[in-house]
Amino acid sequence: MTTQSERARAALDAYYASDLDRTLTLHHIESPLERALTLFRDAAAHVPAYGRFLAEHGIDPARVLSRTEFERLPTPTKESYYRRHRLPDLCRDGRLEHSDFVAVSSGSTGEPAIWPRFVSDELGTAQRFEQVLRDAFGAASRRTLGVVCFALGSWVGGMYTAAACRHVATKGYPLTLVTPGNNVTEILRVVRALGPHFEQTVLFGYPPFLKDVIDAGRADALDWAAFSPKLVTAGEVFSEAWRSLVAERAGIREPARGTASLYGTADGGVLANETPLSIVVRRALAERPALATAIFGEPRLPTLLQYDPLHRYFEADGAELLFTGDGGVPLVRYRILDRGGVLPYGELLGRLREQGLDPLAGLSATARDMPFVYVFGRTGFALSLYGANVYPENVASGLEGRAIASHVTGKFVLELEHGPDENVSLKLTVELAAASSPSRALADDVARSVRAEIERQNSEFQSYVPETRRTPRVVLLPLAHPDYFPKGVKHRYTR
């Protein structure tokens, strides 16, 4: 019998010898559905918790033979599946020791969860990093310094990024990593010390934190452009105005080739990644909100990514995403509680061409025929005002105009508040930049700008909310205020 270690060694050898171009076109040859069905059968037979889960729902695995039966399978969630079973029972053969590492989720929806994995489970995620580094940043032939700015420790972001990128380096990429974590002073120190020895520097981190790093470097007279910086983000949806602003401050001339966002989770690893093509499409749609709403079905702009369906098999169940993927805890039709959808490559490009948009025209980067997934983020993070959903993404754009962006960090908290007469309205608490002071004039500018952006993007807001209730009450707080913007924790934009 082949052992776990022997299978892992074979998988590692295959990855190091693999060709990215061939790997990312295999879904045209192999059937992603058959790959998902194979994982389903394996999990049903060898994962004790999943076998019980199917039995509870009256499912006979032997009768699941086609797409129709597969799409009728129950959809586990963290609450209905993960938390109801012992951790070893979620693993193959009930053996937790078959995994050599665990990752801890951020706990943004409750108590943190522990997700086991083995070294070979990192290879699909490594391909996502490799795709970004090669296709967008040209890192296969450029000496690259990778600076991991995610928090280190048991949380998934920093350790997983470092592990995946080391696999890429082992494959022969001229990539060197340094792991200062989310310590701004240490990040700037290692960039100054190491950056001059490389042709480009890639910062990996959460979007608002990377903006803090860029701003701190500028304040400390660091010439970012001299290091040919690139940014890889994860964890949050941001606007194209934010991308443009941060790219400008970092000296990134081509945002579609100098930035990329990853769709990553502790339970699933990195599920999908932005590509130069998906960024070009998103930036075009940011200028045409009515077309974006027609395509995505909501008055806010989601993150738009491409994915390998042989690595993670996506489905859309209504407005929620499901994925099937292997790992220390195999997951089949897992409901991750993110709103979003799936679009075939040809369908999305065809719809854009019908509207006079051709994102492939003039694209100076590799464009791969891979399906798209779009992600709005977790359900429940919008606020409802007079029956209209108000999304953090709508608000963020209002803080990114040139007149305001230099005074704020981009972090905010959106709340509903009730006045003495019980009329409900929006309260917006905004974090000031280090050198800024609160003023009535700045608060008024923020309120006007945010209202204008919500109205521009969100027709529901204009239709439902009385005109006298559309302007938020703005509160300006200093940097790292402990009640709203504490250091060292993942920021939440609504309360």
Structural domains of the chain in order of their starting residue, each with its CATH number: 1-379 (3.40.50.12780), 383-477 (3.30.300.30)
Q: Is residue 305 within 8 Å of 372, Cβ to Cβ?
A: yes
Question: 200-205 and 259-265 as β-strands: parallel, antiparallel, unpaired?
Answer: unpaired
What is the helix (H) or strand (E) element at residue 15, kind and residue range? helix 4-17
pLDDT for res 109: 42
pLDDT mean values, one per 10 residues, the chain (495 residues): 79 91 93 97 98 97 97 96 96 93 64 85 94 97 96 83 96 97 94 98 90 91 98 86 91 96 90 97 95 91 96 95 96 94 97 95 89 81 73 85 89 83 80 92 94 83 79 94 83 83
Q: How many CB atoms lie within 10 A of CB 85?
A: 18
- Work out the angle at residue 486's Cα, subtended by the Cα atoms of residues 483 and 487, and round it to the nearest 5 degrees: 170
Structural contact between residues 268 and 336, judged by C-beta atoms closer than 8 angstroms: yes
The span from the CA of 69 to the CA of 81, in Å, is 20
Smallest CA-to-CA distance from 303 within 237, 354, 259 is with 237
- pLDDT (0 to 100) of residue 110: 43
What is d(CA 472, CA 467) in angstroms, rounded to the nearest whole number? Answer: 11
pLDDT of residue 402: 80
Tell me the pTM.
0.82
